[in-house]
Amino acid sequence: MRFLIVAAAILFTATTARAETFPVIKDKAVLEACAECHMAFPPQTLPKAVWKNMIGDLANHFGEDASIDPSKINAVLDYHLKNAADVSNVRAAKKWRATGSFTRIIDAPRFIKKHRNCPEEVWTHEKVNSKANCLACHTTMQKDGSTKAKMSFLSPGLQKLCGDDD
């Protein structure tokens, strides 16, 4: 019996150790301001400086005017700065910590590493359309924080290429 308990504990540790899970965003101001146009990206994916620049210039948000109610800007910025990759101690944030000059999640070294085997046809697939459309493959991310990919709309060959190889 003791053997089964130890084996179960080892199996649980081994499977959860590979999981990259972000805290679920529950902040009302963030959800209203960000998720209105796209998924609310986990702040643990970018460093404070990037979030400060991005949220500080929402009138020029990747070619769009994403300005939000001025009364919400400080709450949104504060949430992102307190949970950014370079200050958060959650496991996923530590994996996303990086130095260098990048301004978006798709240019972060961790994103590039995790998606390096995905060919262009994945990004141009009608259900994806953009590297920034995380929810196309990571369908439960906003509900449970999991980055586990569910890509049943892709051929088995493409699914294997884009699989999680950490």
Sign of the four-CA dihedral 110, 113, 114, 120: positive
Confidence of residue 18 (pLDDT cuts 50, 70, 90): low
pLDDT in tens, 19-75: 589 999 999 999 999 988 899 999 999 999 999 999 999 999 999 999 999 999 999
Q: In whole angstroms, give the CA distance from residue 111 to residue 50.
A: 15
DSSP string, 119-163: -HHHHTSTTT-STT-GGGT-TTHHHH-B-----TTS-HHHHHHTS
pLDDT at 163: 72
Sign of the four-CA dihedral 128, 133, 138, 143: negative
Q: Kindly list the domain boundaries of the chain, sorted by start residue.
A: 20-161
- pTM comes to 0.83
pLDDT at 124: 96
